[in-house]
Amino acid sequence: MIKKICFVSGLIACLAFLVPLAPAQETSGATSAVAAAPEASAPTPQLGSVYRPASDIARSGYAHTTYVLRSFDGGIPHGLSAPGRIQSGINPLVTTEEAETPQSLGCLYVGSPGSAGCIPNYNSGSGGPTAVGYGAIALVDAYDNPNAAADLLAFDNYWVLPPATFVKVYANGNGDCTTPPADANWSVESSMDIEYAHVFAPKAAIILVEACSNSMADLLYAEQVAFNYIVTNYPAGGQVSNSWQAGEFAGQIADDSTFADFTYNFVNGYKTPILAFASAGDSGLGVGYPSTNPWVISAGGTSILRNPTTLKFVSEACWGGSGGGTSTVETYATTYSGGNTGPWADFQYPIFGQSNRATPDMSFDADPASGAWVYSAYGLGAWGVIGGTSLSSPALAGIVNRNGQKLGSVFLTPVNSGSDWFSTWENNFAYSQLATAKAYKADFFDVKTGSNGSSAVANWDYCTGVGSPRGANGK
């Protein structure tokens, strides 16, 4: 089912500052500390030819895409008529990387990584994960992708995936445009976003929310449209993915609650849980916004390493381009501000104590050498292999959706007369497993090799966070 909806008037005025209902813990005499600086190490070299689009340029007040394309000659990639094998060896005696598919990624992150079925199958009809999911996943991007619906249909038809319920929404109610202008580079971004959110949560509605431009003002407005659209139309809730990044800025704390469901779902008694995800970046060690927002699940990147003979899964490593690091703006506070880390967002307290926000939180395949096949007619002309944490964010949103925990930022308990503290429940859940003897190993792959400028290590690190997901539990 395909619908197109244009917002031509303002949103419901639902961004009033909300005071926490009751503190979950008392703090006194607290001091703010800065998370330990990442230990520098040489980033893992990128294999093969990589093309970085013109949309991936940082400018003050504007966001940029966080994807990179696998190029066959070092130049601008051209679309291929159909997916196929493109080998890229790290060390031919040890491991290799292959372009991944819905079938192989579904097998790795949802099924059994050691099974023969995890070898990429490029044939039409190779399928993907089982058809589960709920509510909606909104993908916030800049500019118009005129071929978005057709791209998703072509993608689903080739792999024989369940048909998607797809809606395109123009975030034009702020008056900055009537129809967002088309942009080829951002169209690659949005096609990848909608396709891989759908891969992992086929039963969730896919909502593409298009901002008038890549200005932070327009993208923040589009974020509001995305959250409000889910609250209004999908009472079960869902996720909002942001495969873009801007630099941190002094006033970002005031925008943090734009990415939290309590800003919107108070209109229905906080009954619509929604989580926001954001790409950690594609230029190695370093941070950006909204990835450092404590209400957001920050998505880091890995490389998938395979046996060069059998192509069976061997390991995941830190992708050298994955973003990560420590925020200079999101500090620890004991007075609620709508942002910052603090008693309401203390999922990293066991690691860093009363300290600044560090990223990422969890990770997914992002290396273009082991990137995913994407169909983008307007951006590429057909098929291409794409990586970057732009792939991580929508895929992780789909994985969290399919696992159905339905966590948001509000949990109300009757014993407290329904009055509780806003908290970062999804990150609380994921981080709580780091200290467990069994759950962590079952629910996440602990990435211990590779570097983005800071080496991956056991447990949490500045490249992959708690690690990459496995199976249906713990996230």
Residue type, 374: V
Res. 26 pLDDT band, cuts 50 70 90: very low
Q: How far is CA 409 from CA 76, 175, 298, 458, in A?
A: 42, 30, 15, 28
pLDDT recorded at residue 252: 97
Whether the per-residue pLDDT at 114 is higher than 90: the answer is no
Beta bridge partners of 136: 205, 238
Tens-place pLDDT, residues 217-231: 999 999 999 999 999
- The torsion angle over the Cα atoms of residues 112, 391, 386 and 144, rounded to 10 degrees, is 140
Phi–psi pair at 341, nearest 5 degrees: -85, 160
Beta-sheet strands, E only, within 261-312: 274-279, 296-306
pLDDT recorded at residue 89: 53
d(CA 304, CA 284) in angstroms, rounded, equals 17
d(CA 205, CA 182) in angstroms, rounded, equals 23
d(CA 276, CA 280) in angstroms, rounded, equals 13
pLDDT recorded at residue 20: 35
**How are beta strands 49-51 and 68-71 bridged, if at all?**
antiparallel
- Within 10 angstroms of residue 164's Cβ, the number of other Cβ atoms is 24
Res. 16 pLDDT band, cuts 50 70 90: very low
d(CA 413, CA 346) in angstroms, rounded, equals 20
pLDDT recorded at residue 470: 95
**How are beta strands 166-171 and 2-6 bridged, if at all?**
parallel
Take residue 198 and report the two structure tokens written for it. 């759908």
Beta bridge partners of 313: 306
d(CA 250, CA 41) in angstroms, rounded, equals 29
Average of per-residue pLDDT values in the chain: 90
pLDDT recorded at residue 101: 97
Which range is most confident: 1-15, 32-46, 454-468?
A: 454-468
Whether the per-residue pLDDT at 90 is higher than 70: the answer is no
Residue type, 469: P
Average pLDDT over residues 221-247: 98
Residues 368, 369, 375, 380, CA torsion sign: positive
Phi–psi pair at 387, nearest 5 degrees: -130, -160
Task: Return all residues near 472 (Cβ < 8 A) that are at least 6 apart.
Answer: 110, 402, 403
Average pLDDT over residues 299-313: 94
Average pLDDT over residues 400-412: 95
Beta bridge partners of 192: none
Residues in the chain: 475
- End-to-end CA distance of the chain, in Å? 29
d(CA 200, CA 395) in angstroms, rounded, equals 7
Res. 125 pLDDT band, cuts 50 70 90: very high
Whether the per-residue pLDDT at 9 is higher than 60: the answer is no
Rg (CA), the chain: 20
Average pLDDT over residues 248-271: 96
Task: Return all residues near 82 (Cβ < 8 A) that are at least 6 apart.
Answer: 122, 124, 158, 383
- Within 10 angstroms of residue 76's Cβ, the number of other Cβ atoms is 11
Res. 458 pLDDT band, cuts 50 70 90: very high
Lowest mean pLDDT among 39-53, 96-110, 274-288, 448-462: 39-53
d(CA 352, CA 349) in angstroms, rounded, equals 5
**Percentage, residues of the chain above pLDDT 70:** 91
Q: Is the peptide bond before 360 cis (omega within 30 degrees of 0)?
A: yes
Whether the per-residue pLDDT at 93 is higher than 70: the answer is no
Domains belonging to the chain, first-starting first, are 2-469 (3.40.50.200)
- 3-state secondary structure at position 171: strand
Task: Return all residues near 157 (Cβ < 8 A) that are at least 6 apart.
Answer: none
pLDDT recorded at residue 448: 97
Tens-place pLDDT, residues 129-160: 999 999 999 999 999 999 999 999 999 999 99
Residue type, 80: L
Res. 2 pLDDT band, cuts 50 70 90: very low
pLDDT recorded at residue 425: 96
d(CA 144, CA 36) in angstroms, rounded, equals 41
Whether the per-residue pLDDT at 437 is higher than 50: the answer is yes
Q: Say if CB 138 and CB 226 are below 8 A apart.
A: yes
d(CA 432, CA 353) in angstroms, rounded, equals 15
d(CA 32, CA 354) in angstroms, rounded, equals 6
- Within 10 angstroms of residue 12's Cβ, the number of other Cβ atoms is 11
